[in-house]
Amino acid sequence: MNRSTPRRIALGSAAVAVVLTGVAACGSSASSSGSSGSSGSSAQGTYTIWDPYPQFAAGSAWEKLLDSCGTSAGVKIKRTAFDTTDLTNKELLAAQQGNSPDVLIVDNPVVSTLADAGVLTSTEENKVDTSQVEPNLLAAGQSGGKTYGTPIGANTLALYYNKSVLKAAGVDPASVKDWASLTAALAKVKAAGKKGITFSAIGTEEGSFQFLPWYWGSGAQLTDLTSDQAVSAVTLWKDWLKDGYAPNSVLNNTQTTSWQEFATGQYAFSENGTWQLANAKKAGFDYGIMAVPAQNGGTAPAPTGGEFVTVPVQKDTGRYSASDKIVSCLTSSANLLATDTTLSYIAPTKAGQDTQSSTDPDLKVWVQAVQAAKGRTSDNLGTKYPKISEQLWGAVQAALTGSKSPKDALTAAQAAAK
Amino acid sequence: MNERSQLAEASSGPTRRGAAATAPSPGTPRTAGPPRKSRSQQWAAWGFLAPVVLYLAAFYAYPLYRNVDLSLRNYTVRSFVQGDAPFTGLQNYSTVVHDPTFWPALLHTVIFTAVSLLFQYSIGLALAVFFTRHFPLSGTLRALFLVPWLLPLIVSASTWSWMLNSDSGVVNAALHAVGIGQVDWLTSPTWTLVSVTVANIWIGVPFNLVVLYSGLQSIPDTLYEAAALDGANAWQRFRHITFPLLRPVSAITLLLGLVYTLKVFDIIWIMTKGGPSDSSTTFATWSYKLGFGNLLPQFGPGAAVGNLLVLIALAFGLVYIRAQKKQAGS
């Protein structure tokens, strides 16, 4: 049963990918192209690319970019899009069968897991140049002193706020500088008959992702879940729920449903990501964006989201040179900007970020947030992160539902994370 | 019903064998001796058997073997890719049993399954008996009752989770109208298991209705007429005719229901993700969570939990077969 589930999911998503891309082939043909490459000369043949962007159909700018990068590297590109949650297991299975794609674009916290599995080549082997990338973004792809890919862009979390709700409650957004002033603002909003803040505290990785800005903003470290700072971060959320500043539904909210709550216009704040920017413009009310405040003021480090472009291990090491050309082309300044604009991401390079904040003032806050952001697997946590994260979201849920006190929940989590 | 299917099997046996014997005969000369004929017959029999055997081996035996193998080895992502995971015996099972999630998950699985079955069966039976009286529009009404069964699970589960939303759900709005305060159906640990069970009952009723309704059709009307002549009232007719005669159908309905309910995953995952704090985690969602719900998959323990589920279903299957044999013997 356990085996059939991923297959069915994999088959299903492969079918979806086929429909979306209009390419009439799936996983099996990736293997044939892999072997055909090893028999021919290395810079020719078909190169496979897997990405988690099923929203980009055949004929989209993204697919055209992939094709043109292939052409300039002298190869043909065969692209398959997967659902992002499916991609890790799909790649692990492919690596087990020895038919990994030539280029894999994958969510950043997964990079260290795949690297640990020996699936990815380091930049020493694949010669991908990462010198332009901001170090705080690159760190998510580093483990054991090696770099396993380069970010295609970054997104992170910040607070969207509804200007009219705040105005009606008599709150000046500029006054929100730390946790105390934010909580005070929420109290005013509640007193004015509106709802305070919405976020996602669901029992998945998404829950940890949303909690981390507060966790890190308290000064806590992921290596010690029981610190006083960690307890204060959990207590902050717990008190918001207890006092009715945040709805109980946060426990079951994904970031999408949390956004839908904010889009009703009833909420003052929503913790959400760069990718909601287009939706915010459609929301029909005046919105603002501020960075998540740290406990004692300043910008809290939010976790980085976004994908890495990686080069999986191939039997024929001669294929890496063309893969390197494709990756360099995809991550060249002009192409990065174009891709990040379509994805609503922030560029991973200083130059790209400068261009973005000068062309779109809306992005300024996001550029700042991304500059302060931190990879979840950074600090050399690597594959320890998933275990810690699972315990962390569990502890947050236990505290928010009241089944354990924040201190007890975190102590239990720390014991289980070892 | 079972007797009939056995009869059908028994009667199809000889004809099938006959087909196997006649198939090669045009090619073979009539002079062939009896031993050769029986060998070719044997080959032909194997030839006819081969597709089924291959199918069973490829799609049932091998995945099951792989799952057992997966649960007996210490898989990390690295050893999963390299294929050199060390054999660790029952280590994964021990990990799973000693996990703090184990007993709550087992308890939730038992409660979820037992309560679902009880309500699905009794509501299904009540509706089936109700629909045996033909009244105007009964066909239409019966068809409407099938809707939950026809809807994709993602649709029904999402609809339930909207309806049960704490702040904006229609259920709480209705409760509010009659003066009951907000109930956190999907976010309070005391209510989540209730919510997913209610949704699952709603989804399972049509199946019970259909199977039990068809079972009722096979009870001869003459029995009811005779009972009516003897002065039996409606309850006595149900208690002494319908229920006993429906027993074989009830047994298979409950067994199928049990297997379906044990492995229910979609509804719970969509509605609560097994949370908050594992309060609606069953073995099925736990197994998924271990294997795929995390950035770092734990294939071994995930497979172990999956196998425990298979064992539970198997145990009840054996109980069913035993009960059936006893019934046939008596």
Pair A357, A363: CB distance under 8 Å: yes
- Is there a contact between A248 and B77 if contact means CB atoms under 8 Å apart? no
Q: What is the structure's pLDDT at A171?
A: 87
Q: B112 falls in which pLDDT band (50, 70, 90)?
A: very high
Average pLDDT on A14-35 reads 37
**pLDDT at residue B224 in the model:** 86
Distance from the Cα of B223 to chain A's closest Cα (Å) equals 45
Per the domain annotation, does B14 fall within a domain?
no
- Sequence-distant (6+) residues with CB within 8 A of A40 are none
**Cβ–Cβ pairs < 8 A, chains A and B:** 123
What total of structural domains would you count in chain B?
1
| Smallest CA–CA distance from A118 into chain B, residue | B78
Number of Cβ within 10 Å of residue A183's Cβ equals 18
DSSP A210-229: HHHHHHHHTT--TT-TTSHH
Output the CA torsion sign for A98, A99, A102, A106.
negative
Q: List, in order, residues 6 or more apart from A402 with CB less than 8 Å away.
A: none
Optimal mutation site among A13, A251, A390, interface B, most CBs of chain B within 10 A: A251
Question: Residues of A near B (CB-CB distance < 8 A)?
Answer: 1-6, 85, 88-89, 92, 95-96, 109-110, 113-114, 116-119, 202-205, 247-252, 261, 383, 385-387, 389-390, 394, 397-398, 400-401, 403-404, 416
> The domain that contains B207 carries what CATH number?
1.10.3720.10
Residue B192: inside a domain: yes
Q: Find the helix packing angle between A384-401 and A228-242, rounded to 10°.
A: 40
Residue A29 has pLDDT above 50, yes or no: no
Residue burial A124-154, b: 16+ Cβ < 10 Å; e: rest = eebebebebbbebbbbbbbbeeebbbbbbbb
- CB pair distance less than 8 Å for A401 and B189: yes
What pLDDT, on the 0 to 100 scale, is given for residue B37? 61
3-state SS, residue A231: helix
Q: What CATH topology corresponds to A157-304+378-417? A: D-Maltodextrin-Binding Protein; domain 2 (3.40.190)
In a domain, B4, yes or no: no
Q: Per-residue pLDDT tens for B161-190?
A: 888 887 778 888 888 888 888 888 888 888
- Tell me the pairing of strands A267-273 and A157-162: antiparallel
Tell me the CA distances in angstroms from B155 to A287, B159, B266, one per residue in order: 32, 6, 10
Average pLDDT over residues A247-257: 87
H helices, E strands: number in chain B: 18, 0
**CA A385, A391, A395, A401 torsion-angle sign:** positive
Select the more confidently predicted residue: B28 or A275.
A275
Q: Tell me, yes or no, whether B199 lies in a domain.
A: yes
pLDDT in tens, A107-132: 888 888 888 888 888 888 888 888 88
Contact A202, A284 (CB under 8 A): no
Q: What tokens does B177 get? A: 């109208």
pLDDT digits over B244-261, tens only?
Answer: 888 888 988 998 898 889
Between helices B247-262 and B102-132, what is the axis angle to 10°? Answer: 140
Q: What percent of chain B has pLDDT over 70?
A: 88
Tokens of B40: 């070719």
Residue B193 lies in a domain: yes
Residue B36 confidence class, pLDDT cut points 50, 70, 90: low
* Ramachandran region, residue A80 (left: φ > 0; alpha: ψ -120 to 50; beta: rest): beta
Higher-pLDDT residue of A36, A328: A328
Average pLDDT over residues B71-91: 82
CB-nearest partner of B297 from A89, A400, A403? A89
The answer to whether residue A400 scores a pLDDT higher than 70 is yes
Beta strand pairing call for A307-310 and A195-198: unpaired
Q: How confident is the model at residue A136 (pLDDT cuts 50, 70, 90)?
A: confident
**Letter for the amino acid at B226?**
A
In this predicted structure, the answer to whether residue A269 has a pLDDT above a threshold of 90 is: yes
CATH class in words for A4-151+307-344? alpha beta
Instruction: Tell me the average pLDDT of chain A.
Output: 82
- pLDDT on residue A128: 80
- Please give, rounded to a whole number of angstroms, the shortest distance from the CA of B56 to a CA of chain A: 14
Provide the pLDDT confidence category of residue B11 given band limits of 50, 70 and 90: very low
Q: Do B187 and A248 touch (CB under 8 A)?
A: yes
List all residues 6 or more positions away from A365 whose beta carbon is below 8 Å from its beta carbon. Answer: A158, A289, A290, A291
Query: Is B277 within 8 Å of A252 when comparing Cβ atoms?
Result: no
Which residue range forms the structural domain that includes residue B220? 102-280
Q: Please give the average per-residue pLDDT across A36-57, as a whole number.
A: 68
Does residue B269 fall inside a structural domain? yes
Q: Minimal CA–CA distance to A359: which of A371, A347, A348?
A: A347
**What is the complex's ipTM, to 2 decimals?**
0.73
> Is residue A6 reached through a cis peptide bond, with omega within 30 degrees of 0 on the bond before it?
no
Element (H, E) at A326: helix A320-330
Q: Where in chain A is the domain with CATH 3.40.190.10?
A: 4-151+307-344, 157-304+378-417
Which among A5, A248, A383 has the least Cβ separation from residue B288? A5
Taking residue A165's Cβ as centre, other Cβ atoms within 10 Å add up to 23
Instruction: Answer yes or no: is pLDDT of A152 > 50.
Output: yes
Q: Is residue B167 part of a domain?
A: yes
**Residue of chain A whose Cα is closest to the Cα of B84:** A96
